[in-house]
Structure 1
Amino acid sequence: MKSVLKTAALKSPVQKSPALKTIRPVPDATRIAIIEDSDAGGERPLWRAHTLAMATDGTVHGDFAASHVAFTPGEVQRGSLYVAQGEVDAMAALQNGAAGCLSVHRLRGPHVRVDEIHVALARIARASRNRSRATMTALAGFAPGSLVDVVLHDALDRASRGMAWSADAELGMAASLCTLAADRNHAIFTLDSVDDARALRPHLFISGPTLDHRTGEGIAATLQQGGAAVLPADSCDFAAWRAAALDAGAQVYGYGRKPSADIRLIDTVTLDDGTTLVTADMMGRAMCWSLAEDLFEEGDAMESLAIMGAMRAGGASLGAAALALCGHVDQVEAPLAVAV
């Protein structure tokens, strides 16, 4: 029996391992194309013709891909989607390098034909909001000339490595949403009305002290489930705004001087160079940061609390916020940023 098994084993074929194939390097041109098409590099198309047609229920006449949106002839550059008001300006935009047009007229060139421009823009804005992965941040109630939106954008841009975006307040909500790229991590909007908030459906709402009762309550009610509101705890409308945000399923962070504030101002000290050092208690944690003289005036410490609260509520880096608040831009000496 043993000899039979031994003979069978000897007759079984020997399994040879397949020869290793030579791994060829990816050609440089292919590698560069992959990098440019990735999120980390290159400029991806903002809108394609078929996407616009699906959003607006329009008709495609010539395929195109646009990297930005132009609303006036002066804004047109190579690769623009031009929102045409007439046939003459549309043809001029195409001759100036526009990739395509959104028009109610039949044009001799790539375009998407729609029934009505304003309705089409509203539909594109809704499609842009639905496809975006960004945290929608709404600002309202800050005094004219306030730099809260600028500093907050700087802070979020640092924290997200260049993936923050701010809307142009002069365009209006619908047009601004049309210019939002789908891959942004943070999008900041300054709101003027509750209707804008309903169109935006914000995840994060930062309110200033000058917001009126009804507008603040209406914006807070539009917050998305799981979102957050950063509200002035010293305001007489805080309780109403807080209730509206909680009813919407959002968290609430109050900032101010009141002992009950989640982000409470403890002290401010002005240094010899004009820099203001702010000390605050953030949910039981003592923190201090500096405010650049050219960004903030005396008495603007509350705005810095709102910015810190927004970064905390959005899960972004507080260190990036401190650098933005102190106006750190390639300084030789290390600025006073944040201490715990």
Structure 2
Amino acid sequence: MSRPLWTAEEIVAATGGRASADFAVRGVAFDSREIEPGFLFVAMPGTVHDGHDFVAGAFALGAAAALVARPVEGPHVLVDDVPAALDALARAARARLASDALVIGVTGSVGKTSTKEAIAAAFERLHPGRVHRSVKSYNNHTGVPLSLARMPREARVVVQEMGMNHAGEIAQLTRLTRPHIAVVTAIAPAHIENLGSIEAIADAKGEIFEGLEPGGTAIIPEATDQRERLVRAARDKAARILTVGGTEGDAAVLHSAPAQASGSLVTARVPGRTITFTVAQRGAHWVQNALTVLSVVAVAGGDVARAALALTEMGGLKGRGERHLLAHEGGEVLLIDESYNANPASMDATLKALGEEKVARKVAVLGTMKELGAASAQAHADLRAPIEAAGVELAILVGAEMAPLAEALALTPIEVVHVNDAAAATDELLTAMRPGDAVLVKASNSMGLGKLVEKVAGGGASCST
């Protein structure tokens, strides 16, 4: 370790705590399962488990120190409030970044994790080894400060995802992050059960502009009914507002066609130039993601052509488009893992992408879309149209909320199996699967269809076909 991430002295200065000993750490985690030798373990309180109960285990795994609210055995910094101390550590990490470092915030109802990963990959082409991004979906009131606290002081580009379930949450996160560029990927009825309307969702996502640094840029989707609402939210906060997509956006796709090998060949207008590039991932939603990524690079003054090479090579993410090519009964099955999240917009997009697959048969394993409130029954039933348009022949539906869709599909020639849980869906898929299938697996994460993917994929190879 050439230079520590944090020293005890720096943690004390940031948090106002008291150090039991001198130490230095090279990483930060609040999940003891993520502890590596030399890490700081943050003992977060919880509704089910208290992090203080895992301090001894963290030290056994090699933690160098702990951030705690009560004294423990081993090197530690004692604070009054651990979550507040983690926020303070995040603010200190943000403050110590070089003045020319670039911070990018990303939110949206759909596509924010994929877009965050693609932005990071694009800038990695431009600043190898000096790009920091939030991992997994660490995008909430604990994940964002953790991600910021993990930032190396030498980071040249930081890409931070921000999510929410309720109004006011992104406002808090963006003020910690203080982005120079704030991106809203899309507005869709995710979390509408908590927020009540699509307009309220747009307002909650638009909170990301509240943390923009002076001179910052807001990037918003052009082709959304909430465009003007987002523009109003950004108008007093951003020095520049850039719209992406549609035909009238500041950045727009001029031409898109299936690429010879996979994905799409795209010609697009981005700020300052027109560029032709390939997107490895299939689907119109990935073309939009790519346009957003290159717009961010252009706004930052980066080499757009070099950054576009990352989109050519980028594979799918676990739970968000990762593709597995499986040997099965002397042939192959393509398993598309979209098991991490689902709402009506993302269901529509991924079903359209499934429709583009050149395969013998298309199978959709679809689980409940959560947090739709009173709109749930109709939203599930409305999936009939994109399922039919995709050419799905077998639909395995998972969860009680899928009953309206099962009823709607009963009026079609599509074979329908409706089960209660992931285990039953796994059994049905393993029985029904045959060579030449393309199988899409998509649901809200709480449905547990990631376990279905793990069991069915087994040792199957990930691919980017």
| TM-score tier (shorter) | 0.7 to 0.9
Give matches, 1:133-148, under 5 Å: 133=98, 134-141=101-108, 143=110, 147-148=114-115
Q: Structure 2: how far apart are the matches of 1:87 and 1:263?
A: 49
Query: Residue 210 of structure 1 is aligned with which of 156, 164, 187?
Result: 187
> Could you tell me which residue of structure 1 aligns to residue 160 of structure 2?
189
Asked which structure has the greater CA Rg, the reply is 1
Q: State whether residues 257 and 266 of structure 1, in contact with CA within 8 Å, keep that contact through their aligned partners in structure 2.
A: no
Give matches, 1:5-16, under 5 Å: none
Q: Structure 2: how far apart are the matches of 1:327 and 1:228?
A: 27
Aligned-pair identity (%) = 27
Distance 1:132 1:273, change over 3 A: same
> Could you tell me which residue of structure 2 aligns to residue 167 of structure 1?
134
The aligned length equals: 285
Give matches, 1:149-298, under 5 Å: 149-168=116-135, 169-170=137-138, 172-192=143-163, 193-210=170-187, 212-259=201-248, 261-283=249-271, 285-292=273-280, 295-298=281-284
Q: Where do 5+ consecutive residues of structure 1 fail to align?
A: 1-41, 330-340
> Could you tell me which residue of structure 1 aligns to residue 72 of structure 2?
107
Report the CA distance between 1:241 and its aligned residue.
Answer: 2.4
Report the CA distance between 1:147 and its aligned residue.
Answer: 2.2
TM-score, reference length from structure 2: 0.57
Query: What letter matches 2:204 in structure 1?
Result: T
Q: Secondary structure at the match of 1:147?
A: helix
Query: What letter matches 2:304 in structure 1?
Result: L
Q: Structure 1: how far apart are the matches of 2:87 and 2:294?
A: 33
Q: Structure 2: how far apart are the matches of 1:145 and 1:312?
A: 19
Q: State whether residues 131 and 156 of structure 2, in contact with CA within 8 Å, keep that contact through their aligned partners in structure 1.
A: yes
Distance 1:227 1:144, change over 3 A: closer
Query: What letter matches 1:191 in structure 2?
Result: M
Q: State whether residues 77 and 97 of structure 1, in contact with CA within 8 Å, keep that contact through their aligned partners in structure 2.
A: yes
Q: Structure 1: how far apart are the matches of 2:4 and 2:87?
A: 20
Distance 1:217 1:105, change over 3 A: closer
> Could you tell me which residue of structure 2 aligns to residue 311 of structure 1?
297
Most deviating of 50-59 and 114-123: 114-123
Q: State whether residues 201 and 224 of structure 1, in contact with CA within 8 Å, keep that contact through their aligned partners in structure 2.
A: yes
Report the CA distance between 1:245 and its aligned residue.
Answer: 2.6
Q: State whether residues 264 and 282 of structure 1, in contact with CA within 8 Å, keep that contact through their aligned partners in structure 2.
A: yes
- Deviation string, structure 1 residues 217-255 (Cα, Å, up to 9, x no partner): 322232111111221122233233234333124212212
Q: Structure 2: how far apart are the matches of 1:95 and 1:277?
A: 51
Query: Residue 70 of structure 1 is aligned with which of 29, 39, 53?
Result: 29
Query: What letter matches 1:269 in structure 2?
Result: A
Q: State whether residues 278 and 291 of structure 1, in contact with CA within 8 Å, keep that contact through their aligned partners in structure 2.
A: yes
Q: Structure 2: how far apart are the matches of 1:286 and 1:172?
A: 37
Structure 1 vs Structure 2 CA RMSD? 2.4
Q: State whether residues 156 and 320 of structure 1, in contact with CA within 8 Å, keep that contact through their aligned partners in structure 2.
A: no
